[in-house]
Chains A and B, each alone.
Chain A
């Protein structure tokens, strides 16, 4: 029988038993849905991490010196944890060391993060804001743009002015009808004059930055700092990747010399870059992509077994039809093709539904959360291929049973 005829027959058979066909496909649908949804979200996360996130945290061609790693890959041993705990906190003195040892042409910024607090203006209040004391240039290195007013200036820093640049979410909450510029907000007992508002960033983590207050480091150090003289990060931005690597080596050497670390000793500080973050994400990514095939295979094996059973039932219900087809001239291969076409088309439909539901789910996740979604073409090709393979494999046994039926016995079956 020509393949086309087989496919036509398969479609009409499946259509004639719509509900049964649908239920027999649930395993395949779940498997493929899961495959597509996970790949779509992982791939979306991937693009997000590569294109936005890494740059957002560290800036481009920027490295950051911290007391201990903030992003850890793999498991931290007890010994490592103790070692990190012994690392001294960064101080304003370290800023001088970094500035001295870094080659010219780089920008050095630093900041201290008070963590979450609340801010008030008159009767209005916004909770869960981040208070950051930062050097001049910090916002630029981080890629934060000012939408209204101005950013922090060298003068703010040198004079210890109590001014603040606030995130757009805070501006919206505290100043719904008026301009925030020139107004005095309160954090704890201290008053700060608003000089600027940042541009809205949005996105997965943008919400945290959109609700942040940036203060000049000197003012912050005298007022809100939990540990005056200490800071959390020193960032160095270079013009190129090569300059960044050179600066990183120079700064590492400078800090080690200043801290009198002998050559055999490990650094008692940590240097982070966006590539470090990317490798952390890659590890998560690899775990997801390693576990995924296992889960999808389980669903597809179950789906295949269900299809095989449905096909076996179908063969036994249609014994007379098979007998008749053989009587009028169907060869074994014709019957085989007919049933294989049916199981393949069935499974392929399941894969198609799975793709649709998977993409739909990913879209819903995308719409409801800041998680991005992106379905790569290869995953669709994979879904189609898996559908056909599951259909063929699960159809082989029922189809060969049908093909081998004795026409005389089949014709007289009840």
Chain B
């Protein structure tokens, strides 16, 4: 009982099929996954393993072909577009490999964006966006536009945007893919800080072992199925060295 209440994500037999011309591609072939609240998870797998598809489903950007998905106690597999938009707004904070900031908007305005769709009034929006930017240590860059910021700063703005509506999950898709190793370490430190202090569940897709090593648990996928729910990644890491 306690265990189920502590689970933020539960999937049962999750499948996703795509139609590619006359062929049906089985991107996910029945994924059973449980993630606890405040867990820090890395998802790994070769390209074509289905990790992007799984992330899209977990992020409620897409609906599964079959199976169940319970997010924070709510079954979301059958929701319509508007309900999914609401879930994305309230429950999920996305961090993308390419940051996806609005180029003409200031950091502050970029961070405010989810709150606009949450219907938050402008003064509270500003307050909360400022607070989120201070959390990622960008209190002095609020009025800067993305092209006036470094790559690491841009990704921190994106993290602030993901945090601002206090979602239950932070979903990061290759968050360091466009950053050098020093900046990557900076971003990983931010995640570590959030994990320790804000109680957010962090799910991070990556193909870099040393990035995945920051997570508490590594889930690996292969051919649309879970390969390991708690993979030991120290060996390839050691081999690489």
Does B114 interact with chain A (Cβ within 8 Å)? yes
Given A320-B100, A329-B89, A331-B81, decide whether A1 and B61 contact each other with a Cβ distance below 8 A: no
- Give Cα A5 to B115, complex, Å: 12
Given A331-B85, A411-B96, decide whether A324 and B102 contact each other with a Cβ distance below 8 A: yes
Chain B 49-87 interface mask (CB, 8 Å, partner A; 1/0): 000000010010110000000000000000001100110
Q: What is the minimal beta-carbon distance from B124 to any residue of chain A, in angstroms? A: 14
Does B94 interact with chain A (Cβ within 8 Å)? yes
Does B233 interact with chain A (Cβ within 8 Å)? no
Does B154 interact with chain A (Cβ within 8 Å)? no
Do B56 and A330 have beta carbons less than 8 Å apart?
no
Q: How many residues of A contact B (CB 8 A)?
A: 22
Given A16-B104, A331-B85, A408-B56, decide whether A325 and B113 contact each other with a Cβ distance below 8 A: yes
Does A407 interact with chain B (Cβ within 8 Å)? yes
- Give Cα A323 to B62, complex, Å: 13
Do B86 and A329 have beta carbons less than 8 Å apart?
yes
Does B33 interact with chain A (Cβ within 8 Å)? no
- Give Cα A321 to B96, complex, Å: 13
| Residue in B62, B102, B117 whose beta carbon sits within 8 Å of that of A329 in the complex | B117
CB-CB < 8 A to A162: which residues of B?
Answer: none
Given A1-B116, A334-B117, A408-B56, decide whether A326 and B100 contact each other with a Cβ distance below 8 A: no
CB-CB < 8 A to A407: which residues of B?
Answer: 61
CB-CB < 8 A to A321: which residues of B?
Answer: 102
- Which residue of A is nearest B171, CB measured? A327
- Of the A-B pairs whose beta carbons lie under 8 Å apart in the complex, a sample of 19, sorted by A's number, is A1-B116, A2-B119, A324-B100, A325-B113, A325-B117, A326-B85, A326-B88, A327-B94, A328-B114, A329-B117, A329-B165, A330-B85, A330-B117, A331-B82, A331-B117, A333-B82, A408-B56, A411-B61, A411-B96
Does A332 interact with chain B (Cβ within 8 Å)? yes
Do B61 and A328 have beta carbons less than 8 Å apart?
no
CB-CB < 8 A to A408: which residues of B?
Answer: 56, 61-62
The listed residue with most A CB atoms (<10 A of its CB), out of B82, B94, B100, is B100
CB-CB < 8 A to A332: which residues of B?
Answer: 81-82, 85
- Enumerate B110-163 residues with CB–CB distance to A below 8 Å: 113-114, 116-119, 161
Do A327 and B102 have beta carbons less than 8 Å apart?
no
CB-CB < 8 A to A320: which residues of B?
Answer: 100
CB-CB < 8 A to B82: which residues of A?
Answer: 331-333
Q: What is the minimal beta-carbon distance from A169 to any residue of chain B, in angstroms? A: 63
CB-CB < 8 A to B81: which residues of A?
Answer: 331-332
CB-CB < 8 A to B100: which residues of A?
Answer: 320, 323-324, 327, 411
The listed residue with most B CB atoms (<10 A of its CB), out of A12, A327, A333, A407, is A327
Q: What is the minimal beta-carbon distance from A4 to any residue of chain B, in angstroms? A: 9
Does B90 interact with chain A (Cβ within 8 Å)? yes
CB-CB < 8 A to A331: which residues of B?
Answer: 81-82, 85-86, 117
- Give Cα A321 to B101, complex, Å: 8
Do A329 and B96 have beta carbons less than 8 Å apart?
no
- Which residue of A is nearest B122, CB measured? A5
Q: Which 7 A-B pairs have the closest CB atoms?
A: A329-B89, A329-B117, A328-B114, A331-B85, A324-B100, A331-B82, A407-B61
Chain A 1-29 interface mask (CB, 8 Å, partner B; 1/0): 11001000000100010000000000000
CB-CB < 8 A to B116: which residues of A?
Answer: 1, 5
CB-CB < 8 A to A325: which residues of B?
Answer: 113, 117
- Give Cα A329 to B114, complex, Å: 6
* Additional A-B contacts beyond A326-B85, A326-B88 (4; CB < 8 A): A5-B116, A326-B61, A329-B117, A411-B61
- Give Cα A408 to B88, complex, Å: 13
Q: What is the minimal beta-carbon distance from A329 to any residue of chain B, in angstroms? A: 2
- Give Cα A123 to B75, complex, Å: 107
CB-CB < 8 A to B119: which residues of A?
Answer: 2
The listed residue with most A CB atoms (<10 A of its CB), out of B85, B102, B161, is B85
Chain A 397-414 interface mask (CB, 8 Å, partner B; 1/0): 000000000011001000
Q: What is the minimal beta-carbon distance from A327 to any residue of chain B, in angstroms? A: 5
- Which residue of B is nearest A321, CB measured? B102
- Which residue of A is nearest B62, CB measured? A408
Do B117 and A328 have beta carbons less than 8 Å apart?
yes
